[in-house]
């Protein structure tokens, strides 16, 4: 985990907006394809900010409520800006776009 924590990816800021749009389009299509299938929308950020969200998942899965624990280890700590090698380029690319909130969110908890 310590070795992985030192890694800072460099994002292609030139293709960043196009890539984010592609992911958004793919997600929209998937939701459309499966709209008649019973499903639940779950975002990582929701679980991080609201631990009771896991209880919603258990209810959706129709399994007994239980105390869930993870053996996962948090690898990256600190702000997102300290995790990306070319944060200034990424920040400039996203500022003023529909994705600008991505550079302001803080999911460190």
The domain locations on the chain are 1-104
Residue 6 CA to residue 37 CA, distance in Å, equals: 41
**pLDDT tens-place string over residues 54-75:** 899 999 999 999 888 888 888 8
R_g of the chain, CA atoms, integer Å: 17
Interatomic CA distance for residues 26 and 55, integer angstroms: 28
CB 98 within 8 A of CB 18: no
Question: Among 101, 99, 84, 107, which residue's Cα sits nearest to residue 16?
Answer: 99
Dihedral sign computed on CA atoms, order 12, 15, 16, 20:
negative
pLDDT digits (tens, 9 = 90+) for 19-66: 999 999 999 999 999 999 999 988 887 887 787 898 999 999 999 998
Tokens 């302001």 sit on residue: 104
User: For residue 64, how many other CB atoms are within 10 A of its CB?
Assistant: 7
Q: What is the pLDDT of residue 109?
A: 46
């Amino acid at each position: 985990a310590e070795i992985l924590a030192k890694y800072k990816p460099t994002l292609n800021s030139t293709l960043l907006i196009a890539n984010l749009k592609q992911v958004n389009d793919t997600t929209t299509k998937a939701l459309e394809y499966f709209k008649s299938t019973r499903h639940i929308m779950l975002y990582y950020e929701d679980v991080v900010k609201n631990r009771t969200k896991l209880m919603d998942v258990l209810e959706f899965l129709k399994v007994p409520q239980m105390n869930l624990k993870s053996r996962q280890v948090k690898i990256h700590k600190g702000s997102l800006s300290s995790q990306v090698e070319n944060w200034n380029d990424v920040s400039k690319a996203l500022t003023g776009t529909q994705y600008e909130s991505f550079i302001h969110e803080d999911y460190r908890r």
